Copies of this chain bind each other. A is one copy, B any other.
Amino acid sequence: MPSLRVALAQVNSTVGDIPGNAAAVRHWSRTAAEVGAQLVAFPEMMLTGYPIEDLVFRDSFVASSQAALRTLAADLAGDGLGDVAVIVGYVDADGPAPTSSAAVPGSGRRDASALLFGGEIVATYFKHHLPNYGVFDEDRYFEPGDSLTVVRLGGVDVALTVCEDLWQAGGPFAAAGRAGVGLVVNINASPYELNKDDLRLPLVQRRAAEAGATIAYVNMVGGQDELVFDGDSMIVTAGGELLTRAGQFTSELLIHDLDVPAADPTPNVTDAQGDDGMGIRRVTVEAPPRPLTDGPAVGGIADRVTDEAEIWSALTLGLHDYVEKNGFRSVVLGVSGGIDSAVVAAIAVDALGPQRVVGVSMPSGYSSGHSKDDAADLAKRTGLDYRSEPIQPMVDAFLANMSLSGLAVENLQARVRGVILMALSNQEGHLVLTTGNKSELAVGYSTLYGDSVGGYNPLKDVPKTMVWRLAKWRNADAANRGGEPPIPENSIVKPPSAELRPGQVDSDSLPDYDLLDAILIGYIDGDQGRDDLIAAGHDAALVDRVLRMVDLAEYKRRQSAPGTKISSKAFGRDRRLPITNRFREGV
């Protein structure tokens, strides 16, 4: 049984930064080769970043991806790595871009994997199963491949697959079984969701049984706009044994020696299209890969962590990469003494370091003494750059010139704070962080153009009850990390308040957060209707109240104001581009 030293490159990639991503492939391939790897696998769309959204419609972008792949093959050989097989995801095309209803949607654009060896692109594979649910829109963008690529390398048959191919039964993994391969390499850009890692291992085991082969699963790591990729790469045998598994949210090489069955010299299968809907295309690499050096290489199995630890890592990495990939030097946020801004400040300091985080206390006449104290305490614990800008003089200028009352006055205070943060952003170059949690956003308990001002919101998808859990977890984890617990105990235990009128607390306007979050999760995450929620045990009147708030709040979450579409591509619905796109035309 031949042995193959495999390196899974669980690394970061930036949408549009094709030269930077190609350089990362060269860097990590060299590092892997230094410890004797014969095959190095990189994530899905490593060369272009993922998701590229409407960039795929631009011919110049696709041409850049194709050209970069050719250059990369040559550069790897130039680096002395011509005898290492490098598998890398990129975007290919064998047809025109779909730009109208006349063309078949996605025609000719391919979510592709290539095997590079000896300075050449030896083989390519086009993803077969295209996900089109949740965050995925791949039916818009890509044409499915219908042929499994099997590469004979050093006497072993290796099949190439991409991401969703693993999540659907039939197709490439069934074809791999029919083809009798020894190893299936599955490259991924699989976004994080809480506890998704609990799904992945049994899924890989099921597919390994279907293919009758070992699976090497490699996933991207890093933040890209609203997505964060968590890695969790692994190798699982045909029998379902987990050989090695990387951590979550870590950039690393997972290196392991595999015993892979020798390829049958004359495989007794038909390579025509099978019941699984796939043809089989075979490619042989005549030259042997570099010989195995000292070994064996045995990868470890990373421990699983708690929900809070997993989420904290996701949020810090997501913020870090948003800031870095967009080229910001620093962030600014309002610190009120409350739990949300305290948790965001702690995330920002963990992600960027205290010297890149500015916290601004903006007290009003309604701000309590303890709020100011708690904000100052947070600053002292975290070491962030702390400022104070009392808002009353600006609020008074509006009140003196307009006749405002009630909610208009409450919102005015939040909006003056938004203007102050944006002025600091313009003057000093910080990215403004906003701090509204998912529960608040869902029911519209925030001020449009007020506390919702900002370029990034770490808590956008975090329910209020989880904000408290995160705060307690992070403070306790200070014992492992060193340093003081960052979040003032008082911010955790006091009743939440917007402090926009005397004595105001959240519970004046909102149900208890335990009850609220349970309904929100059913309604939003679960698509449950009113009757489902009541059947699940929620109080009917409360369900009606919450659903009404959510439906009314829907428009508050909109980005730029909607407007009537009159052209073939309006902004918004029609034009979907990643924010942290680094593709530069003509570079």
Show the binding face of A for B, using Cβ within 8 Å: 54, 57-61, 97-101, 105-106, 131-135, 137, 139-140, 164, 167-168, 191-194, 223, 225-228, 311, 314-315, 317-319, 322, 326, 389-390, 393-394, 396-398, 400-405, 407-408, 411-412, 415-416, 418-420, 422-424, 426-427, 433-434, 438, 441-442, 448-449, 452-462, 521, 524-532, 544, 547, 551, 554-575, 577, 579, 581, 584-586
What are 27 sample pairs from A and B whose C-beta atoms fall under 8 A apart? A101-B168, A105-B133, A135-B565, A193-B567, A226-B565, A311-B566, A318-B563, A322-B562, A322-B564, A394-B394, A398-B423, A402-B420, A408-B423, A411-B426, A412-B419, A412-B423, A416-B419, A419-B419, A460-B565, A460-B572, A461-B564, A461-B567, A531-B586, A544-B585, A557-B559, A558-B560, A559-B559
Contact of A326 among B228, B454, B555 (CB under 8 A): B555
Contact of A569 among B525, B559, B563, B573 (CB under 8 A): B525
Please give 17 more A-B residue pairs, beta carbons under 8 A apart, in addition to A58-B529, A402-B427: A60-B529, A60-B530, A139-B140, A314-B564, A322-B562, A402-B424, A415-B422, A418-B449, A422-B449, A438-B567, A457-B563, A459-B563, A461-B571, A524-B575, A530-B585, A557-B560, A559-B561
A427 touches B408 (CB 8 A): yes
A427 touches B405 (CB 8 A): yes
Question: Which one of A167, A433, A457, A568 has the highest number of Cβ atoms from chain B below 10 Å of its Cβ?
Answer: A568
Q: Which residues of B contact A521 (CB under 8 A)?
A: 567
Within the assembled complex, what's the spacing in Å between the Cα atoms of A228 and B418? 34
How many copies of the shown chain assemble into the complex?
2
B567 touches A525 (CB 8 A): yes
B449 touches A419 (CB 8 A): yes
Known contacts A58-B527, A453-B449, A531-B586: A135-B555 contact under CB 8 Å: no
Within the assembled complex, what's the spacing in Å between the Cα atoms of A557 and B576? 11
B228 touches A564 (CB 8 A): yes
B60 touches A97 (CB 8 A): no
Within the assembled complex, what's the spacing in Å between the Cα atoms of A268 and B233? 60
B563 touches A226 (CB 8 A): yes
CB distance from A550 to the nearest CB of B (A): 10
A397 touches B408 (CB 8 A): no
A319 touches B564 (CB 8 A): yes
Q: Which residues of B contact A226 (CB under 8 A)?
A: 562-565, 570, 572-573
CB distance from A347 to the nearest CB of B (A): 10
Q: Which residues of B contact A403 (CB under 8 A)?
A: 427
B400 touches A192 (CB 8 A): no
Q: Which residues of B contact A568 (CB under 8 A)?
A: 134, 193, 525
Question: Which one of A131, A423, A526 has the highest number of Cβ atoms from chain B below 10 Å of its Cβ?
Answer: A423
B389 touches A401 (CB 8 A): yes
Q: Which residues of B contact A404 (CB under 8 A)?
A: 423, 426-427
Q: Which residues of B contact A570 (CB under 8 A)?
A: 226, 438, 460-461
A566 touches B525 (CB 8 A): no
B561 touches A457 (CB 8 A): yes
B418 touches A457 (CB 8 A): no
Q: Which residues of B contact A441 (CB under 8 A)?
A: 560, 571
Contact of A397 among B393, B456, B527 (CB under 8 A): B393
CB distance from A20 to the nearest CB of B (A): 16
Q: Which residues of B contact A393 (CB under 8 A)?
A: 397, 400-401
Within the assembled complex, what's the spacing in Å between the Cα atoms of A126 and B317? 45
Question: Which one of A137, A139, A585 has the highest number of Cβ atoms from chain B below 10 Å of its Cβ?
Answer: A585
A140 touches B135 (CB 8 A): no
Q: Which residues of B contact A449 (CB under 8 A)?
A: 418-419, 422, 449, 453
Within the assembled complex, what's the spacing in Å between the Cα atoms of A544 and B587? 10
Contact of A560 among B225, B457, B529 (CB under 8 A): B457
Known contacts A140-B133, A411-B423, A572-B226: A586-B530 contact under CB 8 Å: yes
A563 touches B461 (CB 8 A): yes
Within the assembled complex, what's the spacing in Å between the Cα atoms of A49 and B104? 26
CB nearest neighbor in B for A441: B571
Contact of A460 among B228, B394, B455, B560 (CB under 8 A): B560
A227 touches B561 (CB 8 A): no
Known contacts A398-B394, A402-B389: A458-B132 contact under CB 8 Å: no
CB nearest neighbor in B for A344: B563
Q: Which residues of B contact A525 (CB under 8 A)?
A: 567-569
Q: Which residues of B contact A101 (CB under 8 A)?
A: 131, 133-134, 164, 167-168
A227 touches B565 (CB 8 A): yes
Contact of A315 among B98, B460, B566 (CB under 8 A): B566
Q: Which residues of B contact A415 (CB under 8 A)?
A: 418-419, 422-423
Within the assembled complex, what's the spacing in Å between the Cα atoms of A319 and B394? 34
Q: Which residues of B contact A405 (CB under 8 A)?
A: 427
Question: Which one of A311, A402, A526, A569 has the highest number of Cβ atoms from chain B below 10 Å of its Cβ?
Answer: A569
B586 touches A544 (CB 8 A): yes
Within the assembled complex, what's the spacing in Å between the Cα atoms of A134 and B99? 8
Q: Which residues of B contact A164 (CB under 8 A)?
A: 101
Contact of A527 among B99, B167, B422 (CB under 8 A): B99
CB distance from A223 to the nearest CB of B (A): 6
Within the assembled complex, what's the spacing in Å between the Cα atoms of A424 and B405? 11
CB distance from A458 to the nearest CB of B (A): 6
CB distance from A441 to the nearest CB of B (A): 6
